[in-house]
Chains A and B, each alone.
Chain A
Amino acid sequence: MNIVLSTQNLHKSYAGQAVVDGVSITLSKGECYGLLGPNGAGKTTTLRLMLGLIEPDGGNLSLLGHAVPRHAREARLRVGVVPQVDNLDPDFTVAENLLVYGRYFGMQDREIETRLPALLEFANLAHKRDVRIPALSGGMKRRLTLARALVNDPDIIFLDEPTTGLDPQARHLIWQRLRELTAQGKTLLLTTHFMDEAERLCHRLAILDHGRMVAEDSPRELIAQHIEPQVVEVFGERVAAWAQEHAAQYSKRFEVSGETTFCYVGDAQPLLAHLQQHGELRYLHRPANLEDVFLKLTGREMRE
């Protein structure tokens, strides 16, 4: 079975407001797929629909060959979930958390205990086996949550913002583990609003806005298709006046955001030469990235 998850035209509304509006996604085995979107774009609701935790208002959904939500329970036997907000059992130790969670999958204690050492090793928590949850750092809790999602040896793992709130060291360790999982043939579906995370990890991703998929492709293709290859960010107090006079002349497209002007260009040389003569403006020249695509497609306005 190569298709692990497929949704067609998923819809979900709350109080007449469409939260998920025509989402169609197909995931193959071993793929890491990202759902990107501003807050409130419908990422978490899409995940909950896929897990069969809420009923869609329309559309079809099949997870590991089971129709969801009707047969969500059977599908979830082979699914792991890393939720957005930590929900480990604070009264238990690291090992007890894994043991108790494994039982929900109908696993025997002996079976779970056989898997324990490898899970603790994977989470770098072998030395914390008998430590209670409140004594763990944020990164350790996340790693334990990831290990807990693997207790039933799932085929697909859903991760809702797996590295939000972590320091760079902790994030890099999680990324490394996620790459190991895809290398083992596990399928991953993750939501994030860290563009570097999506760019590093995801084979393919969808950008969601107001519940709609506004783009779907590999990170490289999205950048190639939606945005000019080079970006020059120009900063300084007088940047607005400068942009009005010169930006259009040197860039294909530009955007002013506060004291920064983003100039999107095919060839940066003429602009850079020009900027070198305007000593009062600072600038940064870089290749276009996923964040540029994201901001172009979803806009720069705050979403609250």
Chain B
Amino acid sequence: MSAHHLAPPRLSLRFFPIWRRHMLVWRKVAATSILGHIADPMIYLLGLGYGLGSLLPEMGGTSYMVFLAAGTICYSTMNSASFEALYSGFARMHEQRTWEAILNTPVTLDDVVLGEILWAASKSLLSGTAVLAVAWLLGLSHSPLSLWLIPLSLLVGLCFASLGLIATALAPSYDFFMYYFTLIITPMMLLCGVFFPVTQLPPLWQGVSAILPLTHAIDIARPLMNGVAPPGMWLHVAVLLGYALAGFYVSLVLFRRRLAQ
């Protein structure tokens, strides 16, 4: 690894034409995409919510459906950004050689990576907003404070887009992403309080949960859905931002190294 790979990111507004490119591709499949963003979380929310919820009197002081709604929104924003950063990102970097085409113009790799992160986060924003809207329609939240979940979706998106790009930068092929989903995303879903409170976990696993970003997202989202200001919110925001910035830097260094070959 040479020194210029480790240089801090040089940011510019040149990421915007890249974001617009991704947007133009997405617009061609928007209907299917939005349906997908809503369908998957809805299956969890309704399936588990009604099925399991009928057996559980309440959880965390609310009905199980209400408890599940906040977790589902966060986990679907995590998924949107992760899928975009891994599968679509890899297609653009490797298979379609879109990055190669872009890098022959005055746009730099730093711009390309920033564009990827902001685009993946935009999809999280869309997905989080869509699921929130459905949660409202189902009467699972009545508080205007829950609208803060919209900017939160963007933040969660930035965090998981950046982390996901680390996997993309290391991936030899699509098969590699199985590891990321099996070893990182799925445990995150089970350890971070999507389906049940983290306090149900053994102490050791509660400790693990405390350092995972999705836990901090849910710690912000769940009180807001119930109309309560989240305790310790700025710490949670700082953790998510920290993961986003660290992920951006690490993935950028890895991409610089990979593309210098």
Contact residues in A for B25 (Cβ distance below 8 Å): 89, 91-92
A24-32, A72-80, A222-230: which lies at the B interface?
A72-80
The verdict on A283 contacting chain B, using a C-beta distance below 8 Å, is no
A128-166: CB near B (< 8 Å → 1, else 0) gives 000000000000000000000000100000000000000
Instruction: Determine whether the beta carbon of A87 is less than 8 Å from that of B108.
Output: no
In the complex, the chain B residue whose C-beta lies closest to that of A55 is B4
Q: With A87-B97, A96-B24 in contact, is A104–B2 under 8 Å at CB?
A: no
Contact residues in B for A76 (Cβ distance below 8 Å): 104-106
Instruction: Determine whether the beta carbon of A77 is less than 8 Å from that of B106.
Output: yes
Give chain B's interface secondary structure class: helix
The verdict on A194 contacting chain B, using a C-beta distance below 8 Å, is no
Contact residues in B for A232 (Cβ distance below 8 Å): none
Among the listed B101, B106, B259, which residue makes an inter-chain contact with A73, where contact means beta carbons less than 8 Å apart? B106
Contact residues in A for B54 (Cβ distance below 8 Å): none
Contact residues in B for A103 (Cβ distance below 8 Å): 17, 20-21
Among the listed A51, A83, A105, which residue makes an inter-chain contact with B101, where contact means beta carbons less than 8 Å apart? A83
Q: With A55-B260, A73-B108 in contact, is A100–B21 under 8 Å at CB?
A: yes
A47-58: CB near B (< 8 Å → 1, else 0) gives 000010111000
Interface size of B in residues (CB-CB distance below 8 Å): 25
Contact residues in B for A96 (Cβ distance below 8 Å): 24
Instruction: Determine whether the beta carbon of A91 is less than 8 Å from that of B17.
Output: no
Contact residues in B for A152 (Cβ distance below 8 Å): 105
B1-31: CB near A (< 8 Å → 1, else 0) gives 0101000000000100110110011001000
B151-186: CB near A (< 8 Å → 1, else 0) gives 000000000000000000000000000000000000
Residues of A1-54 whose CB lies within 8 A of B:
14, 51, 53-54
The verdict on B40 contacting chain A, using a C-beta distance below 8 Å, is no
Contact residues in B for A14 (Cβ distance below 8 Å): 261
Instruction: Determine whether the beta carbon of B24 is less than 8 Å from that of A101.
Output: no
B243-261: CB near A (< 8 Å → 1, else 0) gives 0000000000000000111
In the complex, the chain A residue whose C-beta lies closest to that of B5 is A55
* Contact size range, A: 20 to 34
Cα distance A54–B106 when bound, in Å?
14
The verdict on B96 contacting chain A, using a C-beta distance below 8 Å, is yes
Instruction: Determine whether the beta carbon of A106 is less than 8 Å from that of B106.
Output: yes
| Nearest CB of A to B92, in Å | 9
In the complex, the chain A residue whose C-beta lies closest to that of B261 is A14
Cα distance A53–B102 when bound, in Å?
11
Instruction: Determine whether the beta carbon of B106 is less than 8 Å from that of A89.
Output: no
The verdict on B107 contacting chain A, using a C-beta distance below 8 Å, is yes
Instruction: Determine whether the beta carbon of B24 is less than 8 Å from that of A90.
Output: no
| Nearest CB of B to A95, in Å | 12
Instruction: Determine whether the beta carbon of A89 is less than 8 Å from that of B104.
Output: no
The verdict on B238 contacting chain A, using a C-beta distance below 8 Å, is no
| Nearest CB of A to B255, in Å | 13
Q: How many cross-chain pairs have Cβ atoms below 8 Å apart between A and B?
A: 63
Cα distance A14–B261 when bound, in Å?
8
The verdict on A81 contacting chain B, using a C-beta distance below 8 Å, is yes
Instruction: Determine whether the beta carbon of B96 is less than 8 Å from that of A101.
Output: no
The verdict on A85 contacting chain B, using a C-beta distance below 8 Å, is yes
Cα distance A79–B106 when bound, in Å?
9
Cα distance A92–B92 when bound, in Å?
14
Cα distance A92–B126 when bound, in Å?
23
Contact residues in A for B17 (Cβ distance below 8 Å): 100, 103-104, 106
Residues of A56-76 whose CB lies within 8 A of B:
73-74, 76
Contact residues in B for A101 (Cβ distance below 8 Å): 101, 105
| Nearest CB of A to B50, in Å | 39
Instruction: Determine whether the beta carbon of B105 is less than 8 Å from that of A105.
Output: yes
Q: Which of A14, A76, A77, A103: most chain B CB closer than 10 A?
A: A103
Instruction: Determine whether the beta carbon of A83 is less than 8 Å from that of B100.
Output: yes
The verdict on B33 contacting chain A, using a C-beta distance below 8 Å, is no
Contact residues in B for A81 (Cβ distance below 8 Å): 104
Instruction: Determine whether the beta carbon of B20 is less than 8 Å from that of A87.
Output: no
In the complex, the chain B residue whose C-beta lies closest to that of A99 is B24
Among the listed B20, B108, B259, which residue makes an inter-chain contact with A100, where contact means beta carbons less than 8 Å apart? B20
Instruction: Determine whether the beta carbon of A53 is less than 8 Å from that of B106.
Output: no
B residues adjacent to A (C-beta < 8 A) = 2, 4, 14, 17-18, 20-21, 24-25, 28, 96-98, 100-108, 259-261
- Ordered by A's residue number, 16 sampled pairs between the chains whose C-beta atoms are within 8 Å are A53-B259, A55-B2, A55-B260, A76-B105, A76-B106, A85-B97, A87-B96, A87-B97, A87-B100, A88-B101, A90-B96, A92-B25, A100-B20, A104-B105, A106-B14, A152-B105
Known A14-B261, A100-B17, A152-B105; 4 more pairs at CB < 8 Å: A74-B106, A79-B104, A100-B20, A103-B20
